[in-house]
Amino acid sequence: RRWFYGPRVAQFEQEFAAFQDAKFCVSCNSGTAGLEIALEALGIGPGDEVIVPPYTFVATVSAVMRVGATPVFVDLDKSWCMDPNAAEAAITRRTRAIMPVHFGGRVCDIDRLGGIAQARGIALIEDACHSWGAKWKGKGTGALGLCGIFSFQESKNMTGGEGGAILTDNEKFAALCRSICNCGREEGMPWYHHINVGTNARLTEFQAALLSAQLSRLEAQTIKRERNAALLNSELAE
């Protein structure tokens, strides 16, 4: 009798945060929505710049434009991820965030990108929509900077049909993302109590139940995928 924000969503959020070594998981209905909500929660808007890679799904860039900010493209290096030197060179006094993508599960150079962001007092937002289970120096992706966004759309390695998540270690930021995701509501307050201008991007109980089941199979499926990839590589090498 509970279709959203019941025990299934709570359980999946807990499981996914633990799986990626993050303190908080705010589920939402897509990776695209998660990116937009994270940018809104940071107050990023007109006049602000966000550094993004050009080799990614459109949402990395459209999310920046949807909040009214300006995407600034910087190229990749041979890791297939954002070149930290290019990111550093692209920073201006308008830059509010760096948003690299862990492309194909290959984790960006977080030491360099995180260091650059920290030194300039800007946010590092991971577009982690390809990186379920990926780690940087033993810690899962998603909360390596301020936050990271995941997608559970049907083409992804784990899916709820649709779905997304914002991971962070920052409790205040998590609460603000949750509020924006839930029509600007405040946790623990009456239903028609709205403190922010939000949207409705809630994950449903049904999707969360699917996602818990998917998560339990992800590791075995990932190992199988890697074996298949290795086989293809060796057979195609000739």
Ligand X SMILES: *Cc1c(COP(=O)(O)O)cnc(C)c1O
> Could you list the residues that contact ligand X (CB under 6 A)?
30-32, 56-57, 59-60, 101, 127, 129-130, 151, 153, 164
DSSP secondary structure string for all residues of 130-181:
T-TT-EETTEETTSSSSEEEEE--TTSSS-SSS-EEEEES-HHHHHHHHHHH
Residue nearest to ligand X (CB): 31
Of 130, 150, 178, 214, catalytic: 130
Cα separation, 123 vs 96, in Å, equals 6
Q: Among this protein's residues, is 127 annotated catalytic?
A: yes
Residues 207 and 79: their CA atoms lie apart, in Å, by: 33
Active site residue 153: yes
Name the catalytic one among 19, 57, 103, 152.
Answer: 57
Helix axes 59-66, 31-41, angle to 10 degrees: 40
Q: Which of 48, 83, 109, 127 is catalytic?
A: 127
Does the active-site annotation cover 202? yes
**Which CB, 13 or 127, lies closer to ligand X?**
127
What b/e readout covers 182-194, taking b as 16+ CB neighbours within 10 angstroms?
Answer: bbebeeeeeeeee
Q: Is 78 a catalytic residue?
A: no
If phi > 0 it is left, if psi is from -120 to 50 it is alpha, else beta; for residue 98 that is beta
102 given a catalytic annotation: no
Residue number with CB closer to ligand X (81 or 188): 81
Using the minimum distance from each CB to ligand X, give the nearer residue, 32 or 179. Answer: 32
Q: Which CB atom, from 122 or from 165, has the smaller least distance to ligand X?
A: 165
Q: How far is the CB of 207 from ligand X (least distance, A)?
A: 12
Nearer to ligand X, 83 or 127 (CB): 127
Pairwise CA distance, residues 8 & 162, whole Å: 16
Q: Out of 5, 202, 207, 214, which one is annotated catalytic?
A: 202
Find the catalytic residue in 8, 96, 102, 185.
185
**CA-to-CA dists, residue 139 to 21, 76, 106, angstroms:** 6, 23, 14
Length of the chain: 238
Q: Check if 194 is active-site.
A: no
The token duo for 118 is 């920290």
Which residues are marked as active site? 57, 127, 130, 153, 156, 185, 192, 202
